[in-house]
Amino acid sequence: MALLRRPLLLLLLIVTHQFLQFRIAFGSVNEEGQKQEEFYEELLLKPFPDRKLLTHFHFQSSAPPSTSNGHHHHLFPKAISQLVLKFQVKEMELSFTQGRWNYESWGGFDPIPSSNAKPPGVELWAVFDAPQHLIDALWKNLTHTLSGLFCASINFLESSTAYSAPEWSFPPASGKLRYGTLPREAVCTENLTPWLKLLPCRDKAGISMLLDRPSIYRGFYHSQRLHLISTGSGSEGMDPGIILEQTLTVVLQPDSQRASLAHASEKHIQPRWSLSSIFGKRISGRCVLAETSNVYFLLDRGLVAELEHIHKENVLISEKFWTNPSFELSAKPDRIFIEESRLLSKNASVLYKFEIEKYSESEPFDLGLFWKTPVVWLCQQAPLHASRFLMGSGNERGAIAISLKSTQSSEAFMGSNSNDERCELRVDVFQVVPWYVKVYFHSLQVFVDQQPKAVSDIIEKIHVSPSKDKVSPGVMELVLTLPCSVSSAVLTIEFDKGFLHIDEYPPDANQGFDIPSAIVSFPNFHARMVFLENDSLNKSPLLSKFQEKSPVMSYTEVLLVPLTTPDFSMPYNVITITCTVFALYFGSLLNALRRRVAEEERFLKDKAAKKMGRIPLLLTKLFAKLRGRHLEGPQAPPASSSFINSKSVLKVILIAGLAACWQYYFS
């Protein structure tokens, strides 16, 4: 009987173990009838007109409200849950970016640039669900926690001189919002590895297998972003639910095999590419913990319109839409989505969907694109193109200028009302200036179509928070009301350059000091993509994100301001000469104190006697006896020893006085 019980017990343990793993990985309902944690992984591919390729990785993890989320997790990263509960974070976004998004070539009206195009360096903003007097302390602790979690210098944002509190110009603006940025922060694999550790499968399975470090960091632009929203629990005693969104946006240049084309007619042919040629890997299946795992290939409105114009027919939704006279895909899409265009133009984006769950290690997924004809198109632009630059010369004064140029898109968006005199275009500007750049807000000037305008006629609303030396930066929030037919607008504001203490200069002070990017948003315009097949979008967080109304937003350049920099070699020279003087002083003092004058004189006489020889020494002794005098021995003290001792004391006193005067003068 005992022999029969052991196999049964072993079988029972194996079945129980498999059942628990099944519930952890695929369970959707727990004992209390609550929804379990979920994870989604998706990838978006989109060609650009300048022969580059956009790869946008989108991962989403969600933890529903529960009484045990703060202690036990199956898929959701526990570190993020503890961070939300500890610091009472309602909403937060953290981004690490290298490079700058090219709004002219890559577009500025799509959901991708509006939500995922970030300024260079580190950007962090957070909304807290806590009393007002605790927010600054929570922000300080949050920066230290994120700095250790992502191996970065985010803790530098703890200082009050590095963050601000926007009132209404920043999109999630509220009284409990804190915003900070580090323009000079370098982004490397040390920041990407902790970001990948938040994924259930990391980079070992699923779409995240494509995240090859050399392929990512040789791109023209890459930005890793982490955005979380804390949803209310609705009842007391329960932890809030959390939705964590992780995105990685990379712009790459495919290796063109047609770089040596001799025909001028083929110079606009886009390069052919595949996932294996870009990332060096293929997708061998989905992450087993993911609810859905999809890859999307997007053709934007401008490209679709150009293809239809070339071939005079709708070749994208034919029976073999993955192979047509314009291009050819190496894999057959599972579904095709047509955008529902709400604008006056009839052009609509086309989206191809590939389901990864059908592929495996024996048959991996490797999407490739081969262009057959040259195509030239333009990406959809924001109403105004924003740029920023410095004016003036010298290290004393200067001016900041924000230039807004029309992209001829506002008229198309506004329709027939664009020619109406009452048609207005609203522009929000948010700018943070460090405290050592002392801005004169009264010097604000506005030029519309190269003509000066009264500030009250253009600026509808303004909020200014002047900087305080070594306490807080300067913040400027503007709401501009421009006519829809405007072609250009310029804002200028003057400033003085302050002086820093020697301890406040960075190691590379001669490079200059950075002014963070300004944020220009258009509240009346929303980057949104709505597709007709709505039934299958409920399980796609990426496409659901495209349907949300997000305001069109763009970041300006980071300004580099040269400040008056001291000659850092002078402290070295002062230290060198001071050490030299002290060395001479102490050397002479020790020499005078340790020298024995009598012994030195005796030593010199003995040395002289040895040089004289024996015969002269005997004659000297004989003459001394005849005269009745004793020959002065070597031990007899010299008659001038007292004089020499007093002279040595005077030397010591003189050197000590000189040293005291030197020290008093330099202190």
pLDDT digit string, tens, across residues 509-534: 888 899 999 999 999 898 888 886 55
Q: Are 404 and 527 contained in the same domain? A: yes
Q: Calculate the alpha carbon distances from 371 to 105, 275, 492 in Å.
A: 20, 15, 46
C-alpha–C-alpha distance, residues 40 and 260, integer Å: 41
Give the global pTM: 0.81
Q: What is the Cα gyration radius of the chain?
A: 38
* Mean pLDDT, rounded, for 187-195: 93
Q: Are 522 and 455 contained in the same domain? A: yes
pLDDT value for 198: 95
- Whether residue 353 contacts residue 336, with contact meaning beta carbons closer than 8 Å, is answered with yes
**What is the chain's length?**
667
Q: Are 457 and 580 contained in the same domain? A: no
C-alpha–C-alpha distance, residues 399 and 290, integer Å: 52
- Whether residue 492 contacts residue 445, with contact meaning beta carbons closer than 8 Å, is answered with yes
Question: Residue 390: inside a domain, yes or no?
Answer: yes
C-alpha–C-alpha distance, residues 362 and 374, integer Å: 35
Question: Residue 489: inside a domain, yes or no?
Answer: yes
Among candidate residues 540, 561, 582, the one where a domain is terminated:
561
C-alpha–C-alpha distance, residues 181 and 123, integer Å: 4
**Confidence grade of residue 16 (pLDDT, cut at 50, 70, 90):** low
- Whether residue 324 contacts residue 336, with contact meaning beta carbons closer than 8 Å, is answered with no
pLDDT value for 239: 74
Q: Are 404 and 543 contained in the same domain? A: yes
CATH of the domain at 540: 2.60.40.740
Q: Are 448 and 529 contained in the same domain? A: yes
Q: Are 451 and 552 contained in the same domain? A: yes
Question: Residue 630: inside a domain, yes or no?
Answer: no
Q: Are 473 and 553 contained in the same domain? A: yes
Return the H-helix or E-strand segment holding 614.
Answer: helix 614-626
Q: Are 430 and 523 contained in the same domain? A: yes
- Whether residue 446 contacts residue 423, with contact meaning beta carbons closer than 8 Å, is answered with no
pLDDT at 312 over 60: yes
Return the H-helix or E-strand segment holding 600.
Answer: helix 597-612
Rounded to 5 degrees, φ, ψ at 230 are: -95, 115
pLDDT digits (tens, 9 = 90+) for 356-387: 999 999 999 999 999 988 888 999 899 999 99
- The position carrying tokens 């909403």 is 91
Question: Residue 447: inside a domain, yes or no?
Answer: yes
Question: Residue 474: inside a domain, yes or no?
Answer: yes
Overall number of domains in the chain: 2
Q: Are 536 and 496 contained in the same domain? A: yes
Q: Are 460 and 479 contained in the same domain? A: yes
Triad 344, 349, 355: Cα angle to 5°: 155
Retrieve residue 188's tokens.
Answer: 């490397």
Question: Residue 552: inside a domain, yes or no?
Answer: yes
C-alpha–C-alpha distance, residues 553 and 33, integer Å: 41
Question: Residue 584: inside a domain, yes or no?
Answer: yes
C-alpha–C-alpha distance, residues 269 and 614, integer Å: 109
Q: Are 429 and 551 contained in the same domain? A: yes
Q: Are 488 and 554 contained in the same domain? A: yes
User: Worst-scoring range by mean pLDDT, 230-234, 239-243, 448-452, 489-493?
Assistant: 230-234
DSSP for 276-341, please give it: HHHHS--B-S--TT-SEEEEEEEE-HHHHHHHHHHHSS--TTSTTTTB-SSEEESS--SEEEEB--
Domain that holds residue 488: 384-408+423-502+509-561
Q: Which residues is 54 bridged to in the sheet?
A: 46, 251
Q: Which residues is 96 bridged to in the sheet?
A: 122, 224
- The neighbour count for residue 291, using CB atoms within 10 Å, is 18
Question: Residue 466: inside a domain, yes or no?
Answer: yes
pLDDT value for 592: 80
pLDDT digits (tens, 9 = 90+) for 566-617: 887 777 888 889 999 989 988 888 888 877 766 777 777 777 766 666 666 6
- Whether residue 124 contacts residue 94, with contact meaning beta carbons closer than 8 Å, is answered with yes
Q: Which residues is 182 bridged to in the sheet?
A: 122
Retrieve residue 401's tokens.
Answer: 């200028």
Q: Calculate the alpha carbon distances from 579 to 191, 585, 592 in Å.
A: 44, 10, 20
